[in-house]
Structures are given as structure tokens and as C-alpha cells.
Structure 1
Amino acid sequence: MLKKLFKSFRLSLNRPHPRSTPEVLGSQQHSLRRADISRHAVSVVERLQNAGYQAYVVGGCVRDLLLDIEPKDFDVATSATPEQVRAEFRNARVIGRRFKLAHVHFGREIIEVATFRAHHPDDEEDDEDNHLAMRHESGRILRDNVYGTLEEDAQRRDFTINALYFDIAHDRILDYAHGVHDIRNHLVRLIGDPEQRYLEDPVRMLRAVRFAAKLDFDIEHHSAAPIRRLAPLLRDIPAPRLFDEVLKLFLSGYAEDTFELLLEYDLFAPLFPATAAALERNPDYVGRLVRHALANTDERIAQGKPVTPAFLFAALLWPALPSRALELQKRGMPPIPALQEAAHLVLTEQCRRTAIPKRFTLPAREIWDLQERLPRRQGKRADLLLEHPRFRAGYDFLLLREEAGEQTGGLGDWWTDYQEASDSERRSMIRALGGKDEAGSAPRKRRRPNRRRRGSGDVPERD
């Protein structure tokens, strides 16, 4: 009992007291205007307010608008419970278990509506509704459905720059955690004791890195200090959740900067252990390959071109394949089966860390398989490869390997020319290979079935 009381006292010291009087920025003190907000978000806020609830536009959208960044989506915080939100909107759906909230659908746009949260009780036994709040013995929050006031919600949020509430009715910003100050000073700062907040949810370390990369901010000194020591806690996060976080990290248009920060804070290895080991063995090649892949991803996103997680994971995990395939070859497995088995093992192990769906692992394996097939161009093989549904991805991956410094004997240039050549030019290019594939092996001769010559006295058998 004494130990329990001490733990509660220690945790309470780490938590800031909620501020009941926020800093209020009037319309003359900020650049936000009602017209900047999604009309659907405005509609949700006004309807909830008319029903007697508190409601504000909150979080990242407010932060981004203050930075002249177009928000990706708009969130609303309210005193209404998810069930009460659903009762107000026929187009609302209650989602989530760990963090229950409501999604209000307007065609393709979804307004996320979250109920004000409060801090968790320090011990589940002290919570009259402990089915709403669950905490792991490590301090990690497993379920977060303890509702509270606006002031408590502000202090429970992760970063100061995300604890900003825009009051549409009065055109003002409510700032409970000096978030506007940190925005002006380009700082990502945790609310409360950083170590305690990371223990509650280790994914906050990834979020700190993501915001720093996206906004070109620095992680505030005290918020950054525990990250390297606590980075191994990410291994306890469910694999499906880490997959979602990896997509946010690398498919938001700031992947290259994000990668550098992940390395700086020792957060990359818990996400991609096999690649991190390969990076340690061969930092020049692996570093170039990953950085080129991420830079190309950022460029495509900036140009509005589609990107696929399959290519991203193929690039991030490729460096782990050679050593694994070599181990299998030493055990007597032929090169091609060894590479295929290595691919299976690497993906299987990675899926335990980040649950990559089959719709991405299968194309990634096809991209890898094409790296072995692209050098084999004899006969009709080249034309058949051009018709392969993953040819373009495989070809781009080949160029990526060459950019990283792999020597392929000009294979990338050959395939570039082949795609642009006429039929007659293609035939000439095939003949110019001299009857050998890129690996230098002669083409296999087609075996003819043995046919016994029949003499004049031979009589064929009849059924």
C-alpha cells in the first residue's frame, strides 16, 4: 500500500497542474480566419454548440494554419461523448477501442470528433470505471477513454503545438500550454514530464520526430533527452500500429529528413532491425540506397505523383537480403532459391515488427524477384519482362540500386534504351548480347525428345 501511495505521489509530481485560464489570442493576435476552416468542420462545431456542448477546432490543423501550411484534415474536440456525437449526426460512426471517437462523414471528407480527455488514475483499482482506462505495468496506456474538461484535455495532449483550440464563435485561439510561443520558436515540446509521457505511449517519440521533420522544428532539449534511452520501448508496441506510424513517417513528403532524425535518436533500429544491422555493416552503400529511395519518394509526393508502400518497403528491406542469402548459400542452397528464401525470411521477421499487409509484401517480393530476372534478356525474355505488371517498379528499383553504387554492367542503361527502341532495334540489341545473359552464362539448349528411328521392318503398335 505504501509503495502504491509513493508511486501515485511520484507521478503526480511529474504532471503539470491544469491551467484553468488559458492564454486567449483574439482575432487581432493571430492569422486564423473562419474561412480557412473546412466548412464541414465549421458545421460540426456549430451543430454541437447549438446542442449545448462545447466544441472547438483543435490540434494539427490550427498549428498548420498558423504556419501557412494547408491542413491535411480537420479535427474537433468536444464535451460530447462519442455516443452523443453519433446521436447528433446520422452520418457519424463511433470507432476505436483504445481511443474511442466519432468520425462524421461528408463524402470523402471525414471530420474526426474526439471527446475531451482527462489524465488517467495512477492505478486501475482507484478508477470506478476502470474499463475506460487501462495502463500497462510499464506505464504505457492501453486504453484512453477517461473523459474530462477542456482544461484537462489540453494538459493531456502530447505536444504544446497540438494543444491549441480555435473558437469559431468568437474567432479566438485558446492556448493552454504556450503552444503559440513554441510555434514561433520552432520547437516541438512535450506537455508534462517527457519520460512519463513517453512511458504512457512510446509512439510519442516517433511523433516528435515526425513533427520536427515536417515543420523543420527542433525537438526541445528536455523532450529530446530521454528518447535514445527509451527507444527500445517501441518493441512493445503492437505491429499493426507501428505499420501505420511508419507510413506516416515515410509517406508524408519528409521521409529523408525523418530518416536522419530516426538515426539521430536511435529510433530506426526498433522499427527496422535487419536494415539497421546492414547499415552498420555497410554504411556507405545502405545509407545511399535508403536515402535515394526516400528522396525519390519525397519528390514524387511533391509532384503529386502516386507512391506505393510496396516500393518503400522493398527499398528499406533490400539491404538485409544479401547477407541472409549468403548464409543460406553457405548451407548448400543454390543462389536463386537462397535469395527467394531470404526474401521470405526478411519479410516475415519485419512483419512481426511492423505488420505489413500482403497487398504490399507480395509486390515487394515481385520487385526483388525482377532484380534477378532483368539481367536475363535472351530470346523473348526481354519482351515478356516488359509486359510484367511490376516491370516499371522493378526497373526503377534497378536504377535505384545503381544510384547507390551497385555495379550492374550498364543494365539500367540497356533497359532504358530497350524501352525506347523500335522492334528492329530491339532485335539488334538482343543479338548484340552475343548469346549470353548478364551473368555470363550461355543460354540453355532446348532438349529434343529422344525419338527411336524405325526401320523398314518396324511396325507401329496399335491400340
Structure 2
Amino acid sequence: MQADNSSFHTSLRVIPRDQHNVSRKEISPNALRVLYRLRDSGFGAFLVGGAVRDILVGGHPKDFDVATDATPEQVKGLFRNCRLIGRRFRLAHVVYGREIIEVATFRANIDDGSGDRETDTGGRLVRDNVYGSIEDDAVRRDFTANALYYAVEDFSVRDYVGGFEDVQNRLMRLIGDPETRYREDPVRMLRAVRLAAKLGFEIEAATAAPIPHLAPLLADAAPARLFEECLKLFLSGHAVESFLGLERFGLLSALLPESAAALKSNRSGALRRMVLEGLKGTDARVANDEPVSPAFLFALLLWPAYCRDLMGLQAQGVHTAEAQRRAADRVTLHQLSTIALPRRFSLPMQEIWLLQSRFQQRQRKRVFRLLSHPRFRAAFDFLSLRMAASDEHAADVEFWREAQQHPGELLAHQEAHAHLDDEEGGEDRAPRKRRRRRRGAPTASE
């Protein structure tokens, strides 16, 4: 089923410079160079999409996209630093050092035979290079807030689909019939949640309504694309709100099915508290321009699934160490069918999980061995995060925090106390029976 928005009513509204806050000071100088050269060469050229939207709501965009009536080949002819990319969408990338200005030709919804468009049997576009007018281009964009065009010739914002008013009202609204647009590209459901979380917008009622029953369509999306979308959802500084949005609209079970099931069955809510606390920390790190590892992120997101699998295997009598390895492999393998998690992230993710049981060990050699492990810091941070689910890890957290600062002194102090205890007990002291603790097993509260 191909989306046809040709009947969607457009009405041009020009918002003059004194009625909006989009300023050239907020626009990349390289984006301005591209806009002016296209204009001076006789082409129409506009800053479009997220950059215009973000500036209007007081943000500071990092990426700048340009829309033009010049074809990709004509753009390449104007810029020596340009390369053409893409099969599904033919685009021009104008490269200035590390900055890339993406230039797209106006696209149309209806193929008159002069373009290049192809859909699969499910209605998803696999190639879309049919060019048209700026009105055509506005209608084929996803959300009204992303269909605003900034013109350098008069510094106005041009709105064809009511996006300016929706931005003012802080609404995410799809252009066209929502169900048709989601079937055309199911990832739009995730984009709706992500942009609403980022901007503090509400998803407009008609745009939100089809999402819960169309969520299973994400199973047909490319796993590599879903991995990239997950990074945008959770590593852009709005992870908590993104997670709550996924829960609210039934998308979490489509994106992270086993974790969603584990969270639902965890009646105490301890696992959910831990996940939200971890995502809160992720947002704080992003806000402070500190790095966040995708391995740690997915260790957090898939931990509920790992805990559930591990307890199931142990209930079957599988030895703890073997159960840990099998649970880690099983959860990773099952998740790969939905999200293409690269091995450079899945392997350290598993290490973070498997190191958790080693924090209960206090023998000198094992302490120093764990302190020197390349994944120690991430695993310790994860252990600290588990405190949000259960405070029974407090003693381990305190020990290893001290061990990092004064490992030799801590162990000497611990051994001295153990020696004194033995002397005070003497021969009359009855041996203490120690209850063996299953190492690495999540507690009932988790």
C-alpha cells in the first residue's frame, strides 16, 4: 500500500521574520553557504525539517538539512566537496570537514513515470526518487512540525501543512492518514515517541490512536535500522521520557519483547525502578557531555530479560555459572532477531552481566584480578545501579568502592580483623555454619 497524500489540503502560510525566532545566528555557516550558492545559481533552496523546528522551540540544532529544486546531479555540479549517496533516497552530501550538510531534492507523492519509485508487497517504500514541487515535498514529509521551510531570500518561514501552529501548540501530528503512513514506514511510530520526548510535545490524538495495534509491524523493520533508532531514543538526553512513551503506546514489547515481558511479571516493580534509574543517569551523562556506552545501555535494557532467564534456568537445576552463560547467550540471540546489536557491544554487555557474581568474592587474588579487569568500572557502575532494585547489594558496593581507592589497606584491615576474630574465639568457639549463597542469582526483589 503506497501512501497517497495528493488529496491532502495544503495552504501556504508565510511567517515573516518579525513573527518567528529563526535567526541566521542559530544556523551553521556551512548550511548558509549551501543555501546562498544554490539561490545565487537560480535554484530554490530552504533550510528544512528538524533544524527549523528545534530553533522555533528554543533549541540549538547540530544537524542542518537543505531542500531544493535542484537535482542531486545539479547540486554535485555546484560543489566540489559533494558526494551523492543513497538508493532509497538519492541525496547530496556537501562535506565541510566533519560537518555534512544534507541536500535533498523536493520529492513528490505521485509517480508520473518520470521518477524512480518502488514499494514492496507490504506497502513499504524501498526506493523513492520522484521529484516534484515544494508543495509536493511538504506533503510527503512525516510530521507537520518537520515540514517548515526557512527561506534565506526574505528570512521567512513557509508553512504548507499547519506545522507552525502545531509547533506553537507543541503537538506531533502526522501528515495524511496515520495508519497508512505507519504501514508505509513502521519506524515512524518510534520517531513519534522520540520526537515527542525530545521536544516535550504531545502526540496528537489521531496520530497516536493506531500505534498500539500497529506496533507489531516493527518486526518487519530492518534490525540494523532499529538499532540506530534505539541509540537515538536512549542516547539523545531524553531516555526516560522515551522509555515511558514506548510503554504508553505498546511499543516496548515490540522493540524489547523479552524485557517487556519480564518487567510485566516483576510484581514488585524493582526491575522497572532500576531501568528508569539507569536511564535517568544516562540522561545526566548526556547533559554533561559525558560518554555513554551502547554496551552499558543494552546491559540495562536487557537486564530484566537476563534475570528472568537466569532464574528459570536455575529453577531447572542448571548450575549457576552455566545458567549465567546460557541466559546471557539466549537473551542476546533472541534480541538480535529484532535489533541488530553489533558484537562490539553485545560481548561487553554480557561481560557486565557475568561479572556481577564476582563482586561477592573477597579473596585477595580475586579482588586484584577483578580490579584489573577491563570491564570492571562498567560492571561496578552496574552493581551500584542495582541498588535501585534492592539494597542488599549495599555491602558489596561499599567494599568495592573502598577497594578501588585503597585496595592493599582494605584487604590488610580485613585480614587483621579475621585473625582477631579467630583468636577471640579460641578452641571453645563453635564453628559457624555458613549458608551458601547462590552467586549471581538475582534476588526475588529483582
Shift of 1:18: 5.3
1:266 aligns with 2:256: no
Letter in 2 for 1:78: T
Matches of 2:57 and 2:435, distance apart in 1: 54
1:169 aligns with 2:160: no
Q: In the alignment, what sits opposite 2:8?
A: 17
Shift of 1:332: 4.9
Q: In the alignment, what sits opposite 1:88?
A: 78
Matches of 1:395 and 1:28, distance apart in 2: 54
Partner SS for 2:139: helix
Decide whether aligned partners of structure 1 residues 286 and 433 sit closer, same or farther in structure 2, where only a CA change above 3 A counts: farther
Correspondence 1:31-46 to 2 at 5 A: 31-46=21-36
Partner SS for 2:337: helix
Aligned pair partner of 2:279 in 294, 302, 309: 294
Letter in 2 for 1:236: D
Matches of 1:440 and 1:430, distance apart in 2: 21
1:56 aligns with 2:46: yes
Shift of 1:388: 1.3
Matches of 1:353 and 1:433, distance apart in 2: 51
State which drifts further: 394-403 or 94-103.
94-103
Give the TM-score normalised by the residue count of structure 2.
0.90
Partner SS for 2:95: strand
Shift of 1:15: 5.0
Matches of 1:347 and 1:120, distance apart in 2: 42
Aligned pair partner of 2:347 in 357, 362, 369: 362
Q: In the alignment, what sits opposite 2:427?
A: none
Partner SS for 1:24: strand
Shift of 1:323: 2.6
Q: In the alignment, what sits opposite 1:246?
A: 230
Q: Would the aligned equivalents of 1:18 and 1:152 in 2 still touch at CA under 8 Å? A: no
Q: In the alignment, what sits opposite 2:396?
A: 411
Unaligned runs of 5+ in 1: 1-6, 122-126, 442-463
Stretches (4+) displaced over 4 A = 430-436, 438-441
Q: Would the aligned equivalents of 1:135 and 1:141 in 2 still touch at CA under 8 Å? A: yes
Q: In the alignment, what sits opposite 1:68?
A: 58
Correspondence 1:63-462 to 2 at 5 A: 63-121=53-111, 128=113, 132-283=116-267, 284-330=269-315, 332-405=317-390, 407-408=392-393, 410-421=395-406, 423-429=408-414, 440=436
Shift of 1:413: 1.3
Q: In the alignment, what sits opposite 1:453?
A: none
Partner SS for 1:69: coil
| Structure having the higher Rg | 1
Partner SS for 1:70: coil
Aligned pair partner of 1:27 in 12, 17, 36: 17
Q: In the alignment, what sits opposite 2:444?
A: none
Decide whether aligned partners of structure 1 residues 179 and 418 sit closer, same or farther in structure 2, where only a CA change above 3 A counts: same
Deviations 1:150-186 (A, max 9, x none): 1100010011111000001211111111111011111
Count of residues in Structure 1 that have an aligned counterpart in Structure 2: 425
Matches of 1:430 and 1:264, distance apart in 2: 52
Q: Would the aligned equivalents of 1:375 and 1:439 in 2 still touch at CA under 8 Å? A: no
Q: Would the aligned equivalents of 1:198 and 1:205 in 2 still touch at CA under 8 Å? A: yes
Q: Would the aligned equivalents of 1:15 and 1:193 in 2 still touch at CA under 8 Å? A: no
Decide whether aligned partners of structure 1 residues 150 and 439 sit closer, same or farther in structure 2, where only a CA change above 3 A counts: farther
Letter in 1 for 2:92: A
Give the TM-score normalised by the residue count of structure 1.
0.87
Question: Aligned residues: percent identity?
Answer: 48
Matches of 2:296 and 2:256, distance apart in 1: 15
Deviations 1:128-171 (A, max 9, x none): 367x2122232222222222111100010011111000001211
Q: Would the aligned equivalents of 1:16 and 1:155 in 2 still touch at CA under 8 Å? A: no
Deviations 1:206-262 (A, max 9, x none): 111111111111111111111111111111001000001111100110100111111
Shift of 1:414: 1.2
Deviations 1:396-425 (A, max 9, x none): 000111222263362111111222226223
Matches of 1:297 and 1:430, distance apart in 2: 38
Shift of 1:379: 2.1
Q: Would the aligned equivalents of 2:9 and 2:161 in 1 still touch at CA under 8 Å? A: no
CA RMSD of aligned residues (A): 2.3
Matches of 1:299 and 1:265, distance apart in 2: 25
